[in-house]
Amino acid sequence: MGRNVPGERRRRFPASILVLSMVLAVVGHGAALAGYGESPVKRVSALRAQLRSRSQEERRAAVAGLVALDSALSVAPLEDAVRQSISGLDKEAKPYDVLDGEFLDAFFEYEDVQKYYPSLVADYRTKFLEAGRRLEAKVAELRGMLDVILDAGTGLGSFRNPAAVDRVAAGARNERHPLIRQMYLEGLGAIGDPGRVPVLLEVLGNFDSRVRALGARALGRYPPRPEILEALATAAATDKSWAVRWAACEGVARGPLDRAVPVLVEAVAREEGEVALRVDSLLRSLVGVTFEGNAKAWAGWWEERGREVTGGTWVPPEDPRRTGTVKETATSFFRIPVESRNLLLVLDYSSSMEEEMVLADSRADAVRRELDLPETRLGFARAEAIHAIRGLPDGARFNVLIYHDKASRFADRAQVVSSASRRRAEKWLLAQKTGYLTNIWGGLLSAFGDPFGPGGNSRFDDLPDTLVFLTDGEPTNGRFRDAPSLGNLVGLWNSAGRATLHTVGLGEGHDAELLALLARSTGGFYVDMQKGNMVIPGTRPSVPPEERTPTASGIVERLRTGLAAESPAVRMEALARAHRLPQWEPALLPLLLGALEDEDDTVVTEAANLLVGGGPGAVPFILEAVDSGLDSPTYAVLDALEARPTAAMGLVPPLATILLDPGAGGKVAAARALGALGPVAAGAVEALESAATAAEAPLAEAAKEALGRIRRE
């Protein structure tokens, strides 16, 4: 075929180049990126020093440099950068509060002087502006620390060097700080290395529900292997935390249609309220049908149509809205439909909330008149909150939080809805007094319960599935006041739970940019009551078309048809679809083996990558390819094993077993495959040592070569 054989090219390299390539592999290929003449160790050392700079730009540049190295040496400095930033945010909290107090004092003094002592205005204006400059400098410093945390967390998910990924996996398994562990788990999900799946499966058994939820989310980003879907289906059915069950459902929904749909139909029957509607929405995106969370309707549909789904003949209706039964939500808040069984209302009690307001909502206005509340923003906010609580069904849970300069809760934990808890909440809401400032940062932090602080896990277990956040102003207090920073913080706090956050803005002065950002990023509604309309409509979760997986048999048939096409692009597209299913169907593996003799190099490479990721069931086909005597299949598979060793870690035990079995065939091919895996095959050293003493010269030679490579690298 005229194909260049990668294995032959590799064998022509001079020994000095081989030694250099091994050194680069050990240090994470850092030297090539660091520049000629500078070792990765020195480069990392210099970047560590740069992380201690007081300049925000310098610190972020250092993080970017560490990430670009893609080296195991980078992981510890990135973790240190996060720890230093967390410590810095804590350390600078009191100095910030002092500067904030000085700024407010200067502001009030300046206002008084303008009214009563005009001759002193210039001096007090200077004092006020200087206090503002000092405060803004501190705010910029805090933002810089947050940016370093975000950059480092994103960077952990960009590593591909095996040694660096090892470090990330170790952090995902063992790290104790909740935020850093979250970053490691999210990084492992972004890396998508199949060899790390055992770490995430182990995480699903952790006592900490936040960790389990993050582990489930990370697993959901991997191709839906049998062990992954089995673990996620179990979590969706049995975990005590709604957040873990929901994360598991999202992962299951990306599996083969015939496996995913029955699990989700069962989940609808177990869940209630908001979570049931979310699962319903996943099903709608997969099969084009919605029953608005109605478990009985879904069970009947599955009984009638299930065989069509599993058989691959189901055709979704053109308009899902015509199928199913639509029901009204249990309650509402400022026109936002609320179906939650665990609701948190977060209300602004700053002084501006006492301004007059006109509201056309007759139901809330009836509550306002009943309680003799004034026609003010606060009066209507109280009335809407009480109306929403009254509409919640018995057995649901709720809580209320107010914020101004500070934040306070109605109850330490969510309360079960009853006539008594409703009365207590109404009494508490009416008794609270307004404060002067609008500390939106404090309100949001209290709403999510600071999951990274002491006791964060217990608060996570109490996390509501729905939050409604109301304000009439912009942030005038709190350590973070700009929309991007507050949005990023909510993203960090909400990463594990994925609660829906609805937002309501009252009056002309509310921060529309912030409220729209928070609602859009969590799938919630944003209502602008000044304009009287819903600016951002709430969106239910769905599985994007590119992440949907047909039935297992459907993928096999598509691959069979695609590989028979004349166009290499069509054949590659067929293999790309099969990437989500290399372990599901035995019929897939012979097709991949045949594709190793394709005329197009890219098709051969892709088929080899799929085959080596096929798990223990692929071993006979890998041995046949390596032992075929044909250059294309042999070297394609060996190169794939070399390039993706961690993806093929599961092959080591069955390959070692073949070497130890006196009656087994394919021993030479097994030894060559283990050698291609390199250090990943360390568990097969004993079997290779035995094979190295075999009487058959080809087997002994292949085993010795494999041992040399495993030990050398």
Give the CA dihedral 471, 473, 477, 480, nearest 10 degrees.
80
Nearest to 614 by CA among 659, 635, 644, 571: 644
- Residue in the structure block whose two tokens are 């909290």: 93
State how far the alpha carbon of 541 is from the alpha carbons of 219, 282, 549, 557, 597, in Å. 18, 6, 17, 29, 42
Rounded-to-integer distance, Cα 102 and Cα 105, Å: 5
Is position 114 within any domain? yes
Instruction: Write down which residue in 484, 514, 536 finishes a domain.
Output: 536
Note whether 466 and 336 are same-domain residues. yes
Q: What pLDDT score does 360 carry?
A: 61
Q: What pLDDT score does 331 carry?
A: 80
Rounded-to-integer distance, Cα 615 and Cα 585, Å: 12
Q: What pLDDT score does 467 carry?
A: 96
Long-range contacts (CB closer than 8 Å, 24 or more residues apart) made by 642-645: 642/676, 642/677, 642/678, 643/609, 644/609, 644/612, 644/613, 645/162, 645/195, 645/677, 645/678, 645/679, 645/680, 645/681
* H-run or E-run covering 534: strand 533-536
Taking the complete model, does pTM exceed 0.85, yes or no?
A: no
Rounded-to-integer distance, Cα 246 and Cα 225, Å: 19
Report the 3 state secondary structure along 126-153. Answer: HHHHHHHHHHHHHHHHHHHHHHHHHHHH
Note whether 530 and 552 are same-domain residues. no
Instruction: Write down which residue in 536, 562, 589 finishes a domain.
Output: 536
Stretches in the chain below the pLDDT threshold 70: 1-38, 319-330, 360-362, 454-458, 580-585, 713
Note whether 433 and 298 are same-domain residues. no
Q: What pLDDT score does 679 carry?
A: 85
Note whether 212 and 152 are same-domain residues. no
The number of residues in the chain equals 713
Within 10 angstroms of residue 267's Cβ, the number of other Cβ atoms is 27
Note whether 530 and 597 are same-domain residues. no
Q: What is the CATH number of the domain that holds 312?
A: 1.25.40
Is position 432 within any domain? yes
Note whether 312 and 414 are same-domain residues. no
Note whether 474 and 577 are same-domain residues. no
Q: What pLDDT score does 323 carry?
A: 45
Is position 495 within any domain? yes
Nearest to 158 by CA among 217, 260, 75: 75
Could you tell me the residue range of the domain that residue 576 belongs to? 546-712
Contact present, 74 and 67 (Cβ < 8 Å): yes
Note whether 119 and 141 are same-domain residues. yes
Is position 170 within any domain? no
Q: What is the CATH number of the domain that holds 708?
A: 1.25.10
Is position 181 within any domain? no
Q: What pLDDT score does 303 carry?
A: 94
Is position 182 within any domain? no
Rounded-to-integer distance, Cα 473 and Cα 477, Å: 11
Report residue 92 as tokens.
Answer: 């600078």
Within 10 angstroms of residue 307's Cβ, the number of other Cβ atoms is 12
Note whether 510 and 556 are same-domain residues. no
Instruction: Write down which residue in 473, 501, 536 finishes a domain.
Output: 536
Is position 378 within any domain? yes
Note whether 204 and 338 are same-domain residues. no
User: Burial of 616 by CB count in 10 Å (0-12 exposed, 13-18 middle, 19+ buried)?
Assistant: middle
Q: What pLDDT score does 710 carry?
A: 87
- The total domain count for the chain is 4
Is position 179 within any domain? no
Q: 335-373 in b/e burial notation, b at 16+ Cβ within 10 A?
A: bbebbbbbbbbbbbbbebbeeebebebeebbebbeeeeb
Note whether 284 and 413 are same-domain residues. no
Q: What pLDDT score does 39 carry?
A: 81
* H-run or E-run covering 323: none
Note whether 621 and 690 are same-domain residues. yes
Q: What pLDDT score does 24 carry?
A: 37
Tally of CA atoms within 13 A in the half-sphere of 653 that contains its CB: 4
Q: What is the CATH number of the domain that holds 434?
A: 3.40.50.410
Rounded-to-integer distance, Cα 24 and Cα 37, Å: 13
